[in-house]
Amino acid sequence: MDYPIETRRHSAAHLMAAAIKRLFPEAKFGVGPAIENGFYYDIDIGRPVSTDDLEAIDKEMQAIKKQNPAFTREELDIDDAISLFKEMGQPYKVELLTDLKTKGTTSVSAEEAQDIDPQNVGMVTLYRTGEFADLCRGPHVTEAKEVGVWKLHKVAGAYWRGKAENPQMQRIYGLCFATKDELKAYEAMLAEAEKRDHRKLGKELGLFVFSELVGPGLPLWTPRGTIIREALNDFVESLRKPYGYERVAIPHITKKDLYETSGHWAKYADDLFKIKTREDHLYAMKPMNCPHHAQIYASEQRSYRQLPVRYAETTMVYRDEQSGELSGLSRVLSITQDDAHVFCRVSQIREEAEKVWDIIQRFYTTFGFQLTPRLSRRDPAKSEKYIGRDEDWNQSEAALQQMLEDKNVDWIEGIGEAAFYGPKIDFMAKDSIGRTWQVATIQLDYNQPKNFGLSCVNEDGEHEGIVMIHCAIMGSIERFMSVLIEHYAGVFPLWLSPVQVAVLPVADRHNEFAHALATELSGYGLRVHVDDSAESVGKKIRNAEKTKVPRMLVVGDKESDGGPLTVRVRGEAEQQTMEKPDFIKETLEQIRNRLA
């Protein structure tokens, strides 16, 4: 039978748990969902899981697969299920069931919901695989031999239910695909991704550093890394400028009251860095900018003739992430957002969203990313996660969906991926080695303008409520930089490279000419570095190649005496001879057109 890959992956998780139960009879189990490219299971065997353990688990999985037990489904009353898991010595499952019974569906996380059916609180479903049994709503394959091809991938620590005060479990990750060829291809991609790891390349290229004294999740940008950040931000600003975006600036802290009014405090208070003043006032480091921008709009009465009002700002926000979740630039505590907000009438939504779409398309096409839009909706089963009226949600979701349909593009659904205040179109970008990242976003917000009482005076002299469009192009510059470094493997295009031209004097007597040439090129706006070290010219070339400089000029007697320049282009074995004006003209044209 041709099962969906998610079904095979979830079944592989249960197969792994069955093997663990055989090898470690006292093992206690958390959740075990299917995830992208595989699965995981949270387990507690009283100690860390070793490499030898993984090998033994994999061997036992193969043995169970050979025995080919069926995956069988049972339905139990929730009280009977609690009694059963108590008898089985599974306290984590008992806790989940007890919370579900006493607190309802709000007590169940997205991962836990994969093992429990929140729509049927009085009854729960159970799946058995040989001697192993676990809460699960399925579906699963019929027999173990249909699971597919797997590989146990890695082990990480994970707090039970994601809370640091809870016991730490061992999370075993596995890869799972339908065929050996698919698994092999994915492993090859992982190997390539490891070579491109932005943490390694960032250090080699001198783009950013972390300091134990500053703290984890707080990157410090070197001059080279800052050049790239500013070049990216300047590009975004140049794309926004024709559409009438105006720059604003806001403080980095705010009173608690602002986020209480916006609705953020009720949803995200635990994620905020809080500051208590000497006078006992409670402030917060801003985790987002939209409430501040709303206050700029609210500072004066607006006529409908002034709308849309478009504000843009690149600024840092701060979110209190768990230390175990921080990872290089991908997840940090200080997030630089290229943020913008459009305040407009309902009748202007489509036109303004189209403009943002155009900016996003032009930006990402420059880097060779393939974009797929995702309509990120609310989850009807989790209504408590969102604010606002159903009719506003229905209207805003319908408006975004209509735009997607009219554009006649392939798009995907993202149930439960909406912001708490409104739906959005998220853009999924495929990089050069086939990985998909969520990047830019267009968010439609009826609710914050209502909370802040934002309006315009319409043609009839009446106050008319407005809407807000949130639009980030890079989103988090830190995270986008991590994606971009790995997408290019650190080989940035000419326009983006921190050093665009390396001037390499053959001998010390050529240093004066090399510096004079660098000064001249710098006058045209080129970023130039002179390597006047005592190294041989061959070593200088290798050093420039190692730091991935796109253009190298080797200068010796001939060049110093006014002859044409000797040019080495990154990635090309043969060097070229060019007259200086031609080199300058060609290089500036490639930069202006943002070519490689």
Per residue in 19-45, pLDDT tens?
999 999 999 999 999 998 999 999 999
Contact 61, 15 (CB under 8 A): yes
pLDDT at residue 112 greater than cutoff 70? no
> From its phi and psi, is residue 71 left (phi > 0), alpha (psi between -120 and 50) or beta?
beta
464 and 546 fall within a common domain: no
153 is catalytic: no
Active-site residue among 14, 319, 374, 377?
319
Position 505 scores a pLDDT of 95
Position 263 scores a pLDDT of 87
Contact 70, 143 (CB under 8 A): yes
pLDDT band at 501 (very low <50, low <70, confident <90, very high): very high
pLDDT at residue 593 greater than cutoff 50? yes
232 and 284 fall within a common domain: yes
CA 16 to chain centre: 29
Per-residue pLDDT reduced to its tens digit, 410-423: 999 999 999 888 99
Top pLDDT among 100 and 167 is at: 167
189 and 206 fall within a common domain: no
Active-site residue among 470, 510, 540, 551?
470
Position 517 scores a pLDDT of 96
- 458 in any annotated domain: yes
Task: Report CA torsion sign: 314, 319, 323, 327.
Answer: negative
Token output for 423:
């739906």
Position 402 scores a pLDDT of 94
- 417 in any annotated domain: no
97 and 177 fall within a common domain: yes
Q: What gap in Å lies between CA 393 and CA 366, rounded to an integer? A: 34
Helix (H, G, I), strand (E, B) or coil at 282: strand
49 DSSP 8-state letter: P
pLDDT at residue 105 greater than cutoff 70? no
Which of these, 523, 539, 521, 520, lies nearest to 531 by C-alpha position? 539
Active-site residue among 134, 338, 339, 426?
339
143 DSSP 8-state letter: B
Token output for 393:
């949600």
pLDDT at residue 120 greater than cutoff 70? no
185 and 262 fall within a common domain: no
Helix (H, G, I), strand (E, B) or coil at 196: coil
324 and 466 fall within a common domain: yes
Distances (CA, A) of 1 to 15, 130, 143, 145, 183: 18, 21, 10, 11, 19
133 and 282 fall within a common domain: no
295 is catalytic: no
The model carries a pTM of: 0.83
Active-site residue among 176, 290, 344, 456?
290
pLDDT at residue 116 greater than cutoff 80? no
- 59 in any annotated domain: yes
pLDDT at residue 13 greater than cutoff 60? yes
- 373 in any annotated domain: no
- Specify the amino acid at residue 76: L
- What does pLDDT average to over the chain? 91
Active-site residue among 196, 293, 424, 551?
424
Angle at 430 between CA 485 and CA 317, to 5 degrees: 55
337 is catalytic: yes
- 518 in any annotated domain: yes
Cis amide bond preceding 308, omega within 30: yes
Position 1 scores a pLDDT of 67
50 and 151 fall within a common domain: yes
- 55 in any annotated domain: yes
Which of these, 534, 474, 148, lies nearest to 336 by C-alpha position? 474
Per-residue pLDDT reduced to its tens digit, 524-573: 999 999 999 999 999 999 999 999 999 999 999 999 988 999 999 998 88
339 is catalytic: yes
341 is catalytic: yes
Position 41 scores a pLDDT of 95
Contact 433, 192 (CB under 8 A): yes
Strand partners, 121: none
Q: What gap in Å lies between CA 270 and CA 266, rounded to an integer? A: 9
pLDDT at residue 299 greater than cutoff 80? yes
Q: What gap in Å lies between CA 545 and CA 467, rounded to an integer? A: 51
Contact 16, 99 (CB under 8 A): no
Domain containing 574: what range? 501-592
Strands 34-35 and 309-318: unpaired
- 42 in any annotated domain: yes
488-507 average pLDDT score: 95
Tally the domains of the chain.
Answer: 3
Contact 121, 100 (CB under 8 A): yes
Q: How many CB atoms lie within 10 A of CB 209?
A: 13
Q: Which residues contact 229 (CB under 8 A, 6 or more apart)?
A: 221, 336, 477, 481
What percent of the chain is predicted at pLDDT more than 90? 76
Per-residue pLDDT reduced to its tens digit, 193-220: 889 999 999 999 999 999 999 999 999 9
| Last residue within a domain, chosen from 194, 222, 238 | 194
| Last residue within a domain, chosen from 194, 215, 240 | 194
424 is catalytic: yes
327 DSSP 8-state letter: B
83 and 170 fall within a common domain: yes
Q: What gap in Å lies between CA 202 and CA 580, rounded to an integer? A: 33
Q: How many CB atoms lie within 10 A of CB 335?
A: 21
At 466, which CATH number?
3.30.930.10
Active-site residue among 240, 341, 435, 548?
341
213 and 178 fall within a common domain: no
pLDDT band at 329 (very low <50, low <70, confident <90, very high): very high
Phi–psi pair at 574, nearest 5 degrees: -85, 135
147-159 average pLDDT score: 90
Q: What gap in Å lies between CA 221 and CA 478, rounded to an integer? A: 10
Q: What gap in Å lies between CA 442 and CA 425, rounded to an integer? A: 5
- 527 in any annotated domain: yes
At 524, which CATH number?
3.40.50.800
331 DSSP 8-state letter: B
299-321 average pLDDT score: 95
- DSSP secondary structure of 65-109: HHH--BEEEEEEEHHHHHHHHHHTT-HHHHHHHHHHHHH-GGG--
pLDDT band at 119 (very low <50, low <70, confident <90, very high): low
| Last residue within a domain, chosen from 441, 461, 488 | 488
Per-residue pLDDT reduced to its tens digit, 433-467: 888 899 999 999 999 999 999 999 999 999 999 99
513-517 average pLDDT score: 95
Strands 168-177 and 149-159: antiparallel
124 and 223 fall within a common domain: no
184 and 206 fall within a common domain: no
Per-residue pLDDT reduced to its tens digit, 219-265: 999 999 999 999 999 999 999 999 999 999 999 999 999 999 998 88
Position 107 scores a pLDDT of 47
CA 243 to chain centre: 27
Contact 207, 488 (CB under 8 A): no
